[in-house]
Structure 1
Amino acid sequence: MTRRITWTLLVLTSVLLVLAVVPLAVSMTVGERVAFRDSQRAATRAVAAAAEEHLSDRKPATAMHQELAAAARSGDCAAVYDASGRLVASTPCTAAQGQEAQELVEEVVSGHEPELLENEGRLLTAEPAGEIRGPSGVVVLARSAAPLNARIATLWGWSAAIGAVGLAASVMLSLRLARWVSRPLSRLDVSAQRLGEGALDERAEVGGGPPEVRRLAATFNTMAARLETLVHGHRAVLADVSHQLRTPLAALRLRLDVMAAGAEGDISAELASAQEEIVRLSRLVDGLLAVARAEQATPRPVAVRVDEAVAERVAAWSPVAEERGVRLIASEGTALSVALGAGHLEQVLDNLIANAVEAVAEGGSVTLDHRAAGGLARLRVRDDGPGMSAGAKAVAFRRFGNPEARGTGLGLAIVHRLITANGGTARLEDTPGGGLTVVLELPLWPQG
């Protein structure tokens, strides 16, 4: 944002400076040229007036020579011609003589207004001595254009300096403005990231920046405080539920075990059935607590090696799979690191492997493979069991959503919550030839 604001203001200021300074400099340049030309014509007319007294009135040439001397002292070159174009008098320099001067004399004698000519860095002007229609002579004055060019160069130099100073001031002001706006937003962004990573006590600074940004920071702090209260309340409820439910269930199971030890016949069978229901209820409570914890997960991502986690969980579940007559296979894949909360991938794999091993009949197989795909890590758990119907797949990630589930129906819900909390996706597909495939797409860990 700082760079965007700076460049925007810089471009805008540059355009304004160009639109303001360049036309002003052009206008002043034209004024300098006009003033220089008028000054040169005035000097030429002064010599022409003195030359007219000598050429038409036959007065002594003293005044004419005085004007020529004054022009020479000013650095000008002047020459006086009679009506036939013959040179009458001139300054020591000969810049006012030559082919260009003769052309100007011919134009003036013929009654035309001559144009300003430039020759070897000098500007030549011509004025009639006497009447324009019948002049008694012509005065040609040549003046160096170096002073004019120097003044114009100085004028453009000052204009460029003013533009550069204005541009530098604009850069400084735009940087200060951009930082004034972007710094509070950057701090707010950092606070939002920390809050998303689980730092519920994180708060943004409200002291700096525009009023809108300060209001946004205050709103963020209010939201963070309410979120902290809500999450802490849910965690307290979970702790209470965990304690209040598990303790009586454990006590009830212990009593049933004591009663079953001395029971016989139908009573023993009924107590065994009750014990199974207690075990099932305990698993259900544990599953609900696991789902609730997954829903409240605010993980701080760490680098997790997918290949190592898969190999570890396959090794841990292989004895269970062998006992059921199921082949548990981990296909070789590249070494990939994903960004997940600590322990989340292992928990996800435990739920998926447990579901697959339970669903596959004896002699079946469960295969795990992974690979990089489009900036993500794709992990698949495939089995050749009975699979799922389209309706069951549509609701499988909900709590108790799968009516065909053999267990509590919470395993896929836990998987979905943990994966989505870490910025990944989970979906179900049919395995070619029959069975179910769970496809997980996980964010790769950024390489340093």
Structure 2
Amino acid sequence: MTRRIAWTLLALTSVLLVLAVVPLAVSMTARERVSYRDNQRAATRLIAAAAEEHLSDHKPATAMRKELGTAARAGDCAAVYDASARLVASTPCTAAQGEEAAELVGKVLAGHEPEPPEKEGRLLAAEPAGEVRRPAGAVVLARSAAPLDARTAAIWGWSAAIGAAGLAASVLLSARLARWVGRPLSTLDASARRLGEGALDERTDVDAGPPEVRRLAATFNTMAARTEALVHGHRAVIADVSHQLRTPLAALRLRLDVLAAGAEEGTATELAAAQEEIARLSRLVDGLLAVARAEQATPRPSAVRVDEVVAERVAAWSPVAEERGVGLRAVSAGPAVTVALGAGHLEQILDNLVANAVEAVPAGGSITLDVREAGGRARVLVRDDGPGMTAEAKELAFHRFGNPETRGSGLGLAIVHRLVTANGGAARLEDTPGGGLTVVLDLPLWPERGHERGIASRSLPVDRTADQNR
């Protein structure tokens, strides 16, 4: 933005300077040329007046020769012609003689006013001696164009200097104005990016830039403060709810265990059923708390090697899968993929998906975790050959308790969807060819692809909820 502002102002100033300086220089040059010509014609008329006294009135040529001498001392060349176009007198130099001079004399004697030409760096001027219609002769004066050229060059030189000075001033002012406007906006943009990455205590400078930018920065700080207070408040509520609900549930479960130990057979059966309901309620509370934490997640992305995390989770879940008679393996197509995810999120996502698949796939089935890069993103596929889902169930699977076909709490896929979308990814469900369900995760790649080996690391697990079902 800073560059665009600077270049726009610079281009506008350049156009204005060109439109102002060039016409002015052209006008001054034309005026200087007219003035130079008028001065030359005035000098030519002085000689013509003295020549008329000699040619018409037959007076001595003293006055005429005096004017010719004055012209010669001024560096001019002059020649006087009679009515027959014969040379009468001239200065020592012969620049006022020749074909061009003869042509001028012919036109003057014919009563015309010719346009003075330029000959070898000299400007020629011709005036009649006497009346214009019946002149007694003609005078031709040749004057060097060097002074006129020098003045013209000086005019253009000063014009160029003024334009360059104006352009330099414009560059300085444009750069200063662009920094004044652009730097606070860049700072605000960086602060907004860090706030979006999870730095809830991020604030921006409100004392720089135009008033509108300062008001925007103050509004941003107010919004950031309210967001921080809201998130911290929700986290505190979640912690309180977690403590307040788990503690009485645990106490109730222990009391039921004590009662069941000395109860009769019929009562023990009822108490066992109550214990199962308490266990289901505990799992439901844990699932709701996990979803709430996921919905309030503001991840700060870090480099996560997907192949390493997948291999780790496969190793962790293999004993459970073997116990149920389910095959669990990981495959990878192409080079290692590094994604930008919050700490522990990929582990939590995979734990929920693998737990769901292990619960759904019957004995003899298989689960495959496939990692690849597709469309500029990392793609993780969790395929199983279980019973799959209907189209209606897939549409509601990512909602809380949205899947009516689930055998568990129905919160696992809701947690997965929230964690994936909070990190800028996308999740969807597809049918596995041959039967089953495939969960497709598209995750953002880590931007510094050239430094993956030096900075990529597995994320640390933080709130792993592996026992939530579809």
Q: TM-score, normalised by structure 2?
A: 0.93
Following TM superposition, by how much is the alpha carbon of 1:264 offset from its aligned partner in structure 2, in angstroms? 4.6
Q: For 1:159, give the aligned amino acid.
A: S
Comparing 268-277 and 48-57, the one that deviates more: 268-277
CA distance in 1, matches of 2:324, 2:66: 130
CA distance in 1, matches of 2:33, 2:371: 80
Correspondence 1:207-222 to 2 at 5 A:
207-222=207-222
Comparing 339-348 and 384-393, the one that deviates more: 384-393
Correspondence 1:101-140 to 2 at 5 A:
101-140=101-140
Look up the match of 2:397: 396
Correspondence 1:316-331 to 2 at 5 A:
316-331=316-331
CA distance in 2, matches of 1:71, 1:181: 65
CA distance in 2, matches of 1:2, 1:217: 18
CA distance in 1, matches of 2:47, 2:401: 114
Q: For 1:368, give the aligned amino acid.
A: L
Following TM superposition, by how much is the alpha carbon of 1:96 offset from its aligned partner in structure 2, in angstroms? 0.8
CA distance in 1, matches of 2:392, 2:76: 105
Look up the match of 1:421: 422
Look up the match of 1:378: 379
Look up the match of 1:236: 236
Q: TM-score, normalised by structure 1?
A: 0.97
Look up the match of 1:146: 146
SS in 2 for 1:141: strand
Correspondence 1:113-262 to 2 at 5 A:
113-262=113-262
CA distance in 2, matches of 1:39, 1:409: 104
Look up the match of 2:357: 356
Following TM superposition, by how much is the alpha carbon of 1:358 offset from its aligned partner in structure 2, in angstroms? 1.0
CA distance in 1, matches of 2:19, 2:46: 41
Look up the match of 1:347: 348
Q: For 1:395, give the aligned amino acid.
A: L
Q: For 1:149, give the aligned amino acid.
A: D
Following TM superposition, by how much is the alpha carbon of 1:115 offset from its aligned partner in structure 2, in angstroms? 0.9
Look up the match of 2:462: none
Following TM superposition, by how much is the alpha carbon of 1:43 offset from its aligned partner in structure 2, in angstroms? 0.9
Following TM superposition, by how much is the alpha carbon of 1:260 offset from its aligned partner in structure 2, in angstroms? 2.8
Following TM superposition, by how much is the alpha carbon of 1:194 offset from its aligned partner in structure 2, in angstroms? 2.1
Q: For 1:308, give the aligned amino acid.
A: E
Look up the match of 2:315: 315
Look up the match of 1:96: 96
Deviations 1:322-361 (A, max 9, x none): 1111111211232011110011011101011111111111
Following TM superposition, by how much is the alpha carbon of 1:26 offset from its aligned partner in structure 2, in angstroms? 0.9
CA distance in 2, matches of 1:406, 1:67: 124
Which blocks of at least 5 consecutive residues in structure 2 are unaligned? 451-470
Aligned length: 448
Which blocks of at least 5 consecutive residues in structure 1 are unaligned? none
Following TM superposition, by how much is the alpha carbon of 1:272 offset from its aligned partner in structure 2, in angstroms? 2.1
Following TM superposition, by how much is the alpha carbon of 1:52 offset from its aligned partner in structure 2, in angstroms? 0.9
Q: For 1:79, give the aligned amino acid.
A: A
CA distance in 2, matches of 1:382, 1:273: 35
Look up the match of 1:367: 368
CA distance in 2, matches of 1:77, 1:257: 133
CA distance in 1, matches of 2:129, 2:229: 103
Q: For 1:24, give the aligned amino acid.
A: L
Higher relative contact order (CA 8 A, sep 6+): 2
CA contact (8 A) 2:198 2:298 kept: yes
CA distance in 1, matches of 2:89, 2:39: 22
SS in 2 for 1:136: strand
Computed over aligned residues only, the root mean square deviation of the Cα atoms, in angstroms, reads: 1.2
Q: For 1:240, give the aligned amino acid.
A: D
SS in 2 for 1:207: coil
CA distance in 2, matches of 1:144, 1:264: 136
CA distance in 2, matches of 1:311, 1:150: 85
Comparing 192-201 and 438-447, the one that deviates more: 192-201
Deviations 1:236-287 (A, max 9, x none): 1111111111111111222222333334522232222222222211111111
**1:25 and 2:32 correspond:** no
CA distance in 2, matches of 1:389, 1:147: 97
CA distance in 1, matches of 2:394, 2:383: 15
Look up the match of 1:433: 434
Comparing 345-354 and 216-225, the one that deviates more: 216-225
SS in 1 for 2:123: strand
CA contact (8 A) 2:332 2:372 kept: no
CA distance in 1, matches of 2:168, 2:396: 63
Deviations 1:13-47 (A, max 9, x none): 11111111111111111101111111111111111
Look up the match of 1:443: 444
CA distance in 2, matches of 1:75, 1:365: 110
SS in 1 for 2:135: coil
CA distance in 2, matches of 1:421, 1:161: 59
Q: Percent identity?
A: 81
CA distance in 1, matches of 2:14, 2:280: 76
CA distance in 2, matches of 1:48, 1:366: 116
CA distance in 2, matches of 1:121, 1:417: 87
CA distance in 2, matches of 1:437, 1:151: 86
